Chains A and B, each alone.
Chain A
């Protein structure tokens, strides 16, 4: 699942699959509204969002926790004509939709688009309110899974998911273990004005785009050893991290704009925001990206300075980091952040080893 999907010159697929696809295509093409039809999953960049990341369901969540499932479902059904308020992933989803409309203008017949899927373990009766809310904001979400209690992780693969966003860190961890890029979303404390014309995605480097191999050195042997090691192995590419394939998918779509001379006007912009310093440990990172054939639009080396103020200037629709310390810092300054629960960083908080509770059975 960490492989990116096929390019459009792939050989023919299963006949049953083709029938389903052709029927869906016909359905959407015959609609009187100008609703864009969803892309073919094997060519699309599929983003799966949970209901609580797409919409603000804090109040409803509390009812579930305090009064139980039956009362929660009843409440949702009673209020199903009231649209929910936007959640943390909402601006990100809108930005994806904008990229799609730009892609459709330049490549009207292409299936290489973002595909947004709602992936929730909510009950189908609660789903009616979710569908009504999606209708209210006219979001381009045509595919969904409402599993009525079962974990949606199995369905992530069946829907060919490239990135999964959820509020539930257990599900996110499970997804990453299955090889699917995933992150736990956090709302920002203030409202930053985000771009309506350009999708802006910021990534941390170690344990997000890259493996945590170097972070292990910092945690276990200290910064000096880390600098020496990175200089020595400058030309050896780092191993890939859980979000590398997502960056790759973004790069593939960016190249479609560049191919049509739209580089300056590209509606996707990527940022690397790393605690590494340009002078000592930064080179290895850039060389690794180059060896993977990936580009990043802006690489920002903080040399240990806090990420919050810089992110406030960048205003990304989403910022991925593996360390809660950075997530919290970003949040406090108004950046929508997503925690990637991967690697050695999970065992530490602000440089100190966290006491691990015994693993739940």
Chain B
């Protein structure tokens, strides 16, 4: 059973233009098992939501009629959390988060609520959930466990497999990835080189400079201009990632 509640405090985005980002409520609010109308602790995804909000604010500053905005949807599939639906909604209000819809479903059919809501990117801290969503053709990514800055949205793309050979037909998930990237690229183009509320970062782990260079050019041809690029060529990735402070990592293979 899937149900969706609209947040009446927030202006709803234009369905065919907005970039719909779904986040699990478990990642946004860390509600204890206690009863009562308490304020929940913020979860790992909180800075991300603030950063998404900042991007929207800056987009509207550039153009008050902008329709290419982030549309944030909160997914609750945890049965325990469902009992606290009113707490989730009240905490959203309390923290001033711009969440437009709340989706409640069981653990088995949460992917249905993703598809129903035309989600372009699904973010979770749970690897299995991400894999399940990916199988249904929803572009998914793991949230960065370490709290990142809320000032600038930083998206890291692990680009080792950007250039797909034409022989392979694209999977549904790969198509979803490409279209998300195209939207992100278009958003990024609304701002200049300096002082952008979002930064697109390319990281390649395996190939050398030519692979990274080719990835930069391929992405550019799809309308995605990266701001930063790091070629590791086998160097350890953890120290670099901790410096990059991404809000989330987009990788082609969830096993990485």
Contacts and interface: CB of A to CB of B under 8 A. Distances in A.
A20 B232 contact: yes
Contacts of B201: 148
Interface in A142-165: 142-150, 154-155, 157-160
A304 interface: no
B234 A38 contact: yes
B240 A131 contact: no
A20 B228 contact: no
Contact of A144 (B194, B209, B217, B226): B209
B236 A20 contact: yes
A147 B228 contact: yes
A26 B207 CA distance: 9
Contacts of A300: none
Interface in B208-256: 208-213, 216-217, 220, 225-240, 243
B217 A128 contact: yes
Contacts of B226: 124-125
A127 B238 contact: no
B199 interface: yes
Nearest to A42: B236
Contact of B205 (A23, A127, A146): A23
Given A70-B192, A157-B239, A158-B240, A141 B209 contact: yes
Nearest to A71: B193
A24 interface: yes
A117 to B, nearest CB: 9
Interface residues of B, number: 35
A155 B243 contact: yes
Contacts of B237: 16-17, 20
Nearest to B160: A23
A27 B212 contact: no
Among A35, A70, A148, chain B packs the most CB atoms within 10 A around the CB of: A148
B238 A124 contact: no
Interface string A9-30: 0000010110011011111100
Contact of B194 (A69, A127, A134, A141): A69
Secondary structure at chain A's binding surface: helix, strand, loop or mixed?
Answer: helix
Nearest to B231: A144
A14 B236 contact: yes
A132 B213 CA distance: 8
Contacts of A142: 208-209, 231, 233
Interface of B is mostly: mixed
A74 to B, nearest CB: 9
Given A127-B216, A135-B210, A21 B193 contact: no
Contacts of B238: 14, 16-17
Nearest to B242: A158
B156 interface: no
A267 interface: no
B13 interface: no
A34 to B, nearest CB: 13
Contact of A27 (B194, B206, B225, B229): B206
A131 B209 contact: yes
B228 A128 contact: no
Question: What size tier do the contact residues of chain A reach?
Answer: 35 or more
A123 B113 CA distance: 39
B235 to A, nearest CB: 5
Contacts of B206: 20, 23-24, 26-27
A38 to B, nearest CB: 5
B202 interface: yes
Nearest to A73: B193
B159 to A, nearest CB: 11
Contact of A24 (B192, B227, B233): B233
Interface string A26-45: 11100000010110110000
Contacts of B239: 157-158
A3 to B, nearest CB: 16
A242 to B, nearest CB: 22
Contacts of A37: 208, 233-234
Given A20-B205, A124-B229, A158-B240, A40 B234 contact: yes
Nearest to B192: A70
B77 to A, nearest CB: 29
A148 B209 CA distance: 17
Nearest to A38: B233
Given A16-B238, A69-B193, A70-B193, A38 B208 contact: yes
B231 A143 contact: yes
Contacts of A157: 239
A143 B232 contact: yes
B240 A155 contact: yes
Contacts of B230: 144-146, 155
A204 to B, nearest CB: 32
A109 B202 CA distance: 31
Instruction: Report the 8 A-B pairs with minimum CB-CB distance, sorted nearest first.
Output: A24-B234, A142-B208, A131-B213, A158-B239, A124-B229, A148-B228, A148-B227, A142-B233
Interface of B: 192-194, 199, 201-202, 205-213, 216-217, 220, 225-240, 243
21 contacts: A14-B236, A20-B206, A26-B206, A28-B208, A41-B235, A70-B193, A123-B228, A124-B202, A124-B216, A127-B213, A128-B217, A134-B209, A141-B209, A143-B209, A143-B232, A143-B233, A144-B229, A144-B231, A146-B230, A150-B228, A158-B239
